[in-house]
Chain A
Amino acid sequence: NAGVMQNPRHLVRRRGQEARLRCSPMKGHSHVYWYRQLPEEGLKFMVYLQKENIIDESGMPKERFSAEFPKEGPSILRIQQVVRGDSAAYFCASSPYPGGQETQYFGPGTRLLVL
């Protein structure tokens, strides 16, 4: 049973470009969480999605950021018109249960660098 997959592992973008980060949850998991880790900080919750639904986006910046988890395929975190401050590690976690706390399994992360 493969773990949570994230790709790309590293992504370099110039200011103003778009970044798309993909997350494939573990098999049988239909709950996905996205977290961001800025340098020298802990992980910060961004959004919680179930298949085809955004359940909690209280941690998402109001502009330029969006997330989806379609019926088929991976969850996508999209950042439009990236700025240097978006440089961070973005982690996805999946869970088989709604509101799963200890059952959140994390992927290896995507490290975004904005030049």
Chain B
Amino acid sequence: DQQVKQNSPSLSVQEGRISILNCDYTNSMFDYFLWYKKYPAEGPTFLISISSIKDKNEDGRFTVFLNKSAKHLSLHIVPSQPGDSAVYFCAASHGSSNTGKLIFGQGTTLQVK
């Protein structure tokens, strides 16, 4: 039962352009969403998050959009840089669980040329 899905295994973008990574979820109890970035042989690094009470959160070149009715979120990176090349994971949690456990998507490999 894949509650968080990233349907694009990979994405290739030119340097300077916008990268858009997508994520869908099925559990309406999720109320907090996060994006992590992961380089090979390293652990995931927290990038940006959004609460379900918001529809947008911005941090520098990174913006996350949340569409609750569609159960969809996206991460926009603009402008994309070669150092952004990594695997990006979308994750979700619900506060009522009180444990903070994260449910991850399968990841999208971003290549910035």
**A42-B89, A42-B107, A101-B93 known; A48 and B100 CB under 8 Å?**
yes
The number of A-B residue pairs with CB atoms under 8 Å apart is 72
Q: Are B46 and A105 in contact, CB atoms less than 8 angstroms apart?
A: yes
Q: Are A42 and B100 in contact, CB atoms less than 8 angstroms apart?
A: no
Is the C-beta of A74 less than 8 angstroms from some C-beta in chain B? Answer: no
Cβ–Cβ < 8 Å partners of B89 in chain A: 42-43
A94-110: which have CB < 8 Å to B?
95, 98-102, 104-109
**Interchain CB contact (< 8 A) of A48 among B43, B95, B101, B105:** B101
In which size bucket is the chain B interface? 20 to 34
Q: Are A42 and B43 in contact, CB atoms less than 8 angstroms apart?
A: no
**A98-B98, A102-B49 known; A45 and B103 CB under 8 Å?**
yes
Is the C-beta of B63 less than 8 angstroms from some C-beta in chain A? Answer: no
Is the C-beta of B44 less than 8 angstroms from some C-beta in chain A? Answer: yes
Of B4, B49, B97, B100, chain A has the most CB atoms within 10 Å of the CB of B100
**A42-B105, A42-B106, A42-B107 known; A100 and B43 CB under 8 Å?**
no
Is the C-beta of A33 less than 8 angstroms from some C-beta in chain B? Answer: yes
Bound: A59/B100 CA distance, A? 13
Q: Are B101 and A45 in contact, CB atoms less than 8 angstroms apart?
A: yes
Bound: A41/B107 CA distance, A? 7
Cβ–Cβ < 8 Å partners of A43 in chain B: 44, 89, 91, 102, 104
Bound: A46/B37 CA distance, A? 20
Chain A interfacial positions (CB closer than 8 Å to B): 4, 6, 31, 33, 35, 40-45, 48, 55-56, 58-59, 91, 93, 95, 98-102, 104-109
22 pairs of residues in contact across A and B, judged by CB atoms under 8 Å:
A33-B100, A33-B102, A35-B102, A42-B4, A42-B104, A42-B106, A45-B101, A56-B101, A91-B44, A95-B100, A98-B98, A99-B97, A99-B99, A99-B100, A101-B102, A102-B34, A102-B49, A104-B100, A104-B102, A106-B43, A107-B43, A108-B42
